[in-house]
A = this chain, B = another copy of it.
Amino acid sequence: LNLTELEILALDSPVNVSDGHARQSLTEAQSAVVREFPELFESASRQPFGELERRAQSAFLSALGQHRAPVCEGRVFSTYSSSVGMEIVARCLAEELSEVALIHPTFDNIPDLLKARGLSLRPVEEQALEGDPEHAFAGRPQAVFITTPNNPTGFVLSADALRRVAGWCAEHRAVLCLDTSFRGFDPTAQYDTYAILEEAATEYVVIEDTGKLWPMAELKLGFVVHSRNCRLGLQEAVSDVLLSVSPFVLLVVERLAEDAAAGGLDDLHDLIARNRAILESSLSSTSAHLPDRGRVSVARVGLAEGMSAASLWRALRKVNVDALPCGSFHWADQAEGDGFLRVALARDEPVVQKAAEAVGGVIELVRREGDRVAAWSGAVRSA
């Protein structure tokens, strides 16, 4: 099963900390937007589509610091979701080239969609991306694909590193692809990506996502942004999949983005930080820990040597808690990922509390079980 199939198993789980979608309760401001749905629907029907689309794109991207995003130049396509955007980008890459350097680890639908188009992938570790591009891209890939902030690690490509990567791509005529779906959670990822990309004259495509931030029952948009010099046939590929997104959803996104900019984003950051602290404290007396410094809405639990996330996942399911084992994130080396369990944090605190207690408890149980088995087999051997 891929990661999403595991997450689908958890959709109706009593304690679902499996998927990275926003499932916390609405804030008061978000509830007000929902109460306004009928008026927004009506209002959307009376406005030109092009205007609604530009306003939603501008409101969202500028709320996340992306002031130089080329909205008014018409270089932002809206899609039903970031994954629909990803599917379109994968198609277009495969029409133009054959080899992609892809960040490792990352959510497995990215390598899966690229591979399904026949592209060959080379893993690049996060830390290599912060170093010398000549070293990271020694294999001379024709495209570079980076998820930043990354899922599940929360790793953020720094502005300096992006500048180096963008320069390398421009020099070597490689297409630079970014998936910034988790950008909203981490202020360190909200420097103006487009200012850097445009300055470097890089051939780029960026996938942005409104879908991770707000608990809006999957009413969301993906945006596919591209450079003026981008060789990808995005317009045709987009138009093969959709005529337009929903004008109603555009208006909802605009409202939510306005609220985000006016303080909603800070509240969200606080919720995620509190939930991360809950998880961390539940692990304090166990052999596990939180290895990452990121601020995204998922956290990796690093397990002690020899403990398997796949086994832990099964054990947790028996007590009705659904988390996500990280094996498949490590698409080039699944075993490496089995030392990590991912816990979603975009939930109400009591949900994370329950999940965290179960995770801590089961980890201890498994360790003691392991100790007992070790003691027992030691006893058998010495008998």
Chain B: minimal CB distance from A5 (Å): 5
Report yes or no: B38 in contact with A236, Cβ–Cβ below 8 A.
no
Residue of chain B at shortest CB distance from A25: B45
A83 to B245, CA, bound (A): 12
Residue A263 is within 8 A (CB to CB) of chain B in the complex: no
Residue A87 is within 8 A (CB to CB) of chain B in the complex: yes
Report yes or no: A240 in contact with B2, Cβ–Cβ below 8 A.
yes
Residue A378 is within 8 A (CB to CB) of chain B in the complex: no
Report yes or no: B2 in contact with A236, Cβ–Cβ below 8 A.
yes
The majority secondary structure among interface residues of chain A is helix
A50 to B9, CA, bound (A): 10
Digitize A84-123: 1 where CB-to-B-CB distance is under 8 Å, 0 elsewhere.
1001000100010000000000000100110010000000
Residue A365 is within 8 A (CB to CB) of chain B in the complex: no
Contact of A84 among B7, B19, B44, B80 (CB under 8 A): B80
Report yes or no: B83 in contact with A8, Cβ–Cβ below 8 A.
no
Report yes or no: A239 in contact with B2, Cβ–Cβ below 8 A.
yes
Q: Which chain B residues border A38 with CB–CB below 8 Å?
A: 34-35, 37-38
Residue A41 is within 8 A (CB to CB) of chain B in the complex: yes
Chain B: minimal CB distance from A7 (Å): 5
Interface centre among A113, A218, A239, A240 (most CB of B within 10 A): A240
Report yes or no: B50 in contact with A41, Cβ–Cβ below 8 A.
no
Report yes or no: B83 in contact with A235, Cβ–Cβ below 8 A.
no
Chain B: minimal CB distance from A118 (Å): 8
Residue A249 is within 8 A (CB to CB) of chain B in the complex: yes
A5 to B12, CA, bound (A): 39
Digitize A288-318: 1 where CB-to-B-CB distance is under 8 Å, 0 elsewhere.
0000000000000000000000000000000
Report yes or no: A248 in contact with B5, Cβ–Cβ below 8 A.
no
Residue A230 is within 8 A (CB to CB) of chain B in the complex: no
Excluding A34-B38, A218-B246, 11 further A-B contacts by CB distance (< 8 Å) are A2-B236, A12-B48, A12-B49, A37-B37, A37-B41, A38-B38, A83-B240, A109-B240, A218-B247, A219-B246, A219-B249
**A-B contacts, 26 listed (Cβ < 8 Å):** A2-B236, A2-B240, A4-B240, A5-B239, A8-B239, A8-B243, A8-B244, A12-B50, A19-B243, A34-B38, A34-B42, A45-B217, A80-B81, A83-B240, A83-B241, A87-B241, A95-B116, A113-B241, A116-B237, A217-B247, A217-B249, A218-B245, A218-B247, A218-B248, A218-B249, A219-B248
A binding-site residues for B, Cβ under 8 Å: 2, 4-5, 7-8, 11-12, 19, 21, 34-35, 37-38, 41-42, 44-45, 48-50, 80-81, 83-84, 87, 91, 95, 109, 112-113, 116, 217-219, 235-237, 239-249
Sorted from nearest, which 7 A-B pairs have the closest CB atoms?
A218-B246, A37-B37, A4-B239, A217-B248, A80-B80, A12-B48, A11-B49
